[in-house]
Amino acid sequence: MPRFGVILAAAGQSSRFGNSAYKKPFAPLAGRPVWLHSAEKFLDRDDVKQVVVVVSPEDREAFVDKFGANLAFMGITLAEGGAERADSVRNGLQKLRPEIDMVAIHDAARPCLAQAWIDRVFAAGARDGAAILGIPVVATLKRVAADNTVVETVDRTGLWEAQTPQVFARELLERAFASRREGQPTDEAQLIESLGCRITVVPGSPINLKITSPDDLRLAEKALGAIPAPKLSGPAHPFAGDDVWR
């Protein structure tokens, strides 16, 4: 059985979230923080041997104060983020134990994840070396100028929206980071693309939404009700004590 390590990316600045009290991975959702909903989807899988949460250096102290018990009870590793997403994921990659041979990167702000989707993308990644969840673009796309006028309608044929988890053979991902050039990839699949490697796209679901605004939290709460909750063998204790994020 492949040994998966999961990197939860939670080090972004949440500039579009528009909430001064919380960054989006730490916002409360159905009684628990968003990041914990995401982590729980992986914690009791037999093929997942390690989970790493990456937070920004400025959030580390408050995160440990608030969630240190969670990390200890659930055996989660903590890593500090870097200047950009790729730097944060690379830092998480360096925290993985030597025996990990497959790496899954997941947005901590995507809490509405079903085990069936994880099963499919993990299987494709283990088989092909690189796989991501995605959904075909179904809306009409417009290219818009700086003055908010339409420039053109974009042909959506063959266009898919990338989601996470994104799953790669560890050796392949490490090679991609070692070969990284200037510029900031928007996801890890783009790094793999730069090596000329094939990436399998596994159909995901619109329910696997990424929280970017407070409105998304309300949608996510409804979506969670449609997804079977994972059964964890240990306690979580997500919100002990006062809310340090306020």
Q: What is the pLDDT of residues 79-100, one digit of tens each?
A: 999 999 999 999 999 999 999 9
pLDDT at 233: 52
Residue 78, φ and ψ in degrees, nearest 5: -110, 140
Residue 18 has pLDDT above 50, yes or no: no
Q: What is the pLDDT of residues 145-174, one digit of tens each?
A: 999 999 999 999 999 999 999 999 999 999
pLDDT for residue 198: 96
pLDDT at res. 166: 98
User: Is 130 within 8 Å of 199 (Cβ atoms)?
Assistant: yes
Instruction: Output the pTM of the full model.
Output: 0.88
pLDDT at 241: 45
139 three-state secondary structure? coil
Position 64: which residue type? V
How far apart are the C-alpha atoms of 34 and 238, rounded to whole Å? Answer: 10
pLDDT tens-place string over residues 173-203 = 999 999 988 778 989 999 999 999 999 999 9
Domains and CATH numbers, the chain: 4-224 (3.90.550.10)
Residue 232 confidence (pLDDT): 54
Please, are residues 131 and 102 in contact by the beta-carbon 8 Å criterion? no
Model pLDDT for residues 215-238, shown as the tens digit of each residue: 899 999 999 988 866 655 554 444
pLDDT digits (tens, 9 = 90+) for 105-143: 999 999 999 999 999 999 999 999 999 999 999 999 999
